[in-house]
A and B are shown apart, each in its own frame.
Chain A
Amino acid sequence: MAGEMQTFKKFQCNYNFAFIDEATKKEVRRSILKAVCIPGYQVPYSSPEMPIARGWGTGGLHVTLSLVGRDDTLKIIDQGSDASVNACNLRDFVAMTTGCETTYDTAQATLIQSRHRIPEEARRSDQIIVLQVPQPEVLRRVERYERKTREMHAEADYAKLWVVLYEAYVRTGDVVGRAVRVNDRYIMTPSPIPRWDIPQLDIARNLHLFGAGREKRIYAVPPLTPVAPLEFEDIKFRMEDFFETVCASSKHTEAFMDEIYENDAEQAKWVINDSNFLDKILDGCRPPQRRHEYWGQAI
């Protein structure tokens, strides 16, 4: 019995650098390379089980762990915040299995794993953003079967998406949705980032990688790749309107905000969502933000 328990212990310290074995990392990297070569195309990959649950960022972890080197500085956020419990858990896991430095500072990080947000601060070309994706298939809404959706992507048959977009416009008066066309070819979902973040993907300086662990797909938007939100000639895509909303903590405007109700107050207050961006503003600096053609063109 005692001998057996020691073997269990042995298993615990025998994990490879960055947890995943090297052969699998190679396979993930090859899939990433393919994804970079075909922007917006969903590359199937092995997606081995991780010690966290499916749907909680395994795809992001696969990408992060297969790319991370000893010199990398990691930042992991969830919903814009470094303090989210799941982000803490993932950060601790990556730090434990790699010994890499971690940071909250967006500018310091070389590798940023995120769920549902792109950091507010402008990214540089030496940074990689890894987004966790719950549902990579943009066509799933209009087509239940994978075999069909793969065919539709292959034939660039996106008519049904445009119909849905039009129907949404008829019903709600807005072209809602987050689908984007990448490099004028594949339509993809940029994971559920708010529309505030979507224009950040267009001709971005940095590489964006998308990992969908449960669905076993990786896709990418390489640097300097055109990414266009779906819109009609006369009805344009618009971001969420935070251009005049004032952050209650920092008095800053022009950042994605959280709506916060404190002490059952009737009145909501607004606070900047990106925790590191907010901290920097509170410290008196003004991190650069990337402006684009949709900036200020709110709903």
Chain B
Amino acid sequence: MIQSVVSAARERLEAVDELSEYYRLRGTTVPVSVEQIVDQFRLGLDKIMGEASLYAPRLAALAYKQCEGDCYQAVILLRAYRATLERRYHSDVIDVENMHILRRISSSFKEIPGGQILGPTRDYTQRLLDARIAEEDTAEARRAFLDEWHKRLEGATLEPVRQFSRVSDILVREGIMKPVMDDDRSVTDITREPLLFPANRSATLQSLARAETGGLLTFGYAGMRGFGGAHGAVNELRVGRVAVVVTDGRGNKRYVGRLTVTEAAMSGGKRSQGGKKRTRPSMQIGYGLCFGQNETKAICMGMLDNGMRGKETGQAHKELVLYHTEAADAAGFIHHLKMPHYASSQARLQRVRNAVGRMRGMRAVRGIAPVKPRHEQVEMSDMPELE
């Protein structure tokens, strides 16, 4: 008998898969190619790659396409794939200071050494729907823009590529910005070991780097509004390309590729370490670094890195933030509520009914008239089990 029920269930599964595939393909337009997504959904893919902690634009595009643009699903697909990859090397520490800069700004200073480089951003454009983009469905439209663009660059003298020192160094030299010393500096790999509390700085920053961008936005914003950390300032925000170098078995450095990353150095107040002595006021860095151009994430990371420091409250806040911005965990568990729970709810139902029954009995003994059953319902919150 079970055989037939199981096959019925499997048939349903197949039908569901087929139906989803139908919804993905039912449109009459040409399916968008993975290439097109890589070319035209840069920021979306950056966000997905960051949350998946897998820097692979083509795979991210495939994932995005496969699940019809559901970013959470795309992240799960990439995380599952990533988890099967063998770790052959650890990269050397990435030299972010010598990043090939695409964008670099500071809000703490009007002018910074090397200048403010705005780079690609929509921060300063008016948020008006642009009808021309809706019409831009031909290759000609694209070519027209690009031709014009290249023509303007021809003959123009471009400044040579150069590296910039960090804006924070100014404050460090001045002694106003203190290094973060109160931390365990060992390196944890949170994809190979679970996150344990108290979490050290490397585990914290890794968790933040792969956290859900929206979640970080929420906690970062809450911090500015008095829940948690303080209002930080963007000392420096950089977007650019960095080289990834590994050291092979013979000790040779090998360049294996480059990543686009966003780095935010926030400045915040230094937490008091207790003690009675009055200490000189100082600032401390809040650091954020994530894949792609994802300034929301990098800035919130920086704010939270700073806000989650300090002995007791910092660690407490850390558990709240790090556990609940874990994209795959959070979304997965929320969706699990759709699974059947009838065996467990049967057990709970019996408990409630028995409690109701006992209450009725008690009323009868005390000579109180029984009230109508619906008023007698025992609150679910009286039931200690959460599961």
A residues contacting B by CB (< 8 A) are 1, 4, 8, 11, 15-16, 19-21, 23-24, 27, 44-56, 58, 78-86, 88-89, 92, 104, 115-117, 134-135, 140-141, 144-147, 150, 164-165, 168, 171-174, 176-178, 189, 191-196, 214, 216-217, 240-241, 256-259, 273, 275-276, 279, 282, 299
- B13 partner, pick from A53, A88, A275, beta carbons under 8 A: A88
Q: Do A4 and B2 touch across chains, with their CB atoms under 8 A apart?
A: no
User: Which residues of chain A come closer than 8 Å to B385, judged between CB atoms?
Assistant: 176-178, 192
Q: Do A147 and B315 touch across chains, with their CB atoms under 8 A apart?
A: yes
Q: Do B386 and A46 touch across chains, with their CB atoms under 8 A apart?
A: no
Q: How far is the CB of B343 from chain A (nearest CB, A)?
A: 4
Cα distance A168–B344 when bound, in Å? 18
Asked, given contacts A146-B197, A177-B385, whether A11 binds B81 with beta carbons under 8 Å apart, the answer is yes
Q: Do A54 and B328 touch across chains, with their CB atoms under 8 A apart?
A: yes
Cα distance A178–B340 when bound, in Å? 19
Cα distance A44–B384 when bound, in Å? 25
User: Which residues of chain A come closer than 8 Å to B332, judged between CB atoms?
Assistant: 53-56, 58, 214
Cα distance A58–B332 when bound, in Å? 10
Cα distance A104–B2 when bound, in Å? 8
Q: Do B335 and A53 touch across chains, with their CB atoms under 8 A apart?
A: yes
Question: Contacting chain A: which of B154-162, B188-196, B237-245, B279-287?
Answer: B188-196
Cα distance A168–B328 when bound, in Å? 34
Cα distance A1–B332 when bound, in Å? 33
- B343 partner, pick from A50, A88, A116, A140, beta carbons under 8 A: A116
Q: How far is the CB of A54 from chain B (nearest CB, A)?
A: 3
Q: How far is the CB of A249 from chain B (nearest CB, A)?
A: 9
Q: Do A19 and B329 touch across chains, with their CB atoms under 8 A apart?
A: no
Q: Do B350 and A299 touch across chains, with their CB atoms under 8 A apart?
A: yes
Cα distance A47–B194 when bound, in Å? 7
Q: Do B8 and A79 touch across chains, with their CB atoms under 8 A apart?
A: no
User: Which residues of chain A come closer than 8 Å to B79, judged between CB atoms?
Assistant: 49
Q: Do A116 and B386 touch across chains, with their CB atoms under 8 A apart?
A: no
User: Which residues of chain B come closer than 8 Å to A193, judged between CB atoms?
Assistant: 344
Cα distance A164–B383 when bound, in Å? 10
Q: Do A275 and B5 touch across chains, with their CB atoms under 8 A apart?
A: yes
Question: Contacting chain A: which of B82-90, B120-128, B261-269, B366-374?
Answer: B82-90
Q: Do A141 and B384 touch across chains, with their CB atoms under 8 A apart?
A: yes
Cα distance A131–B371 when bound, in Å? 42
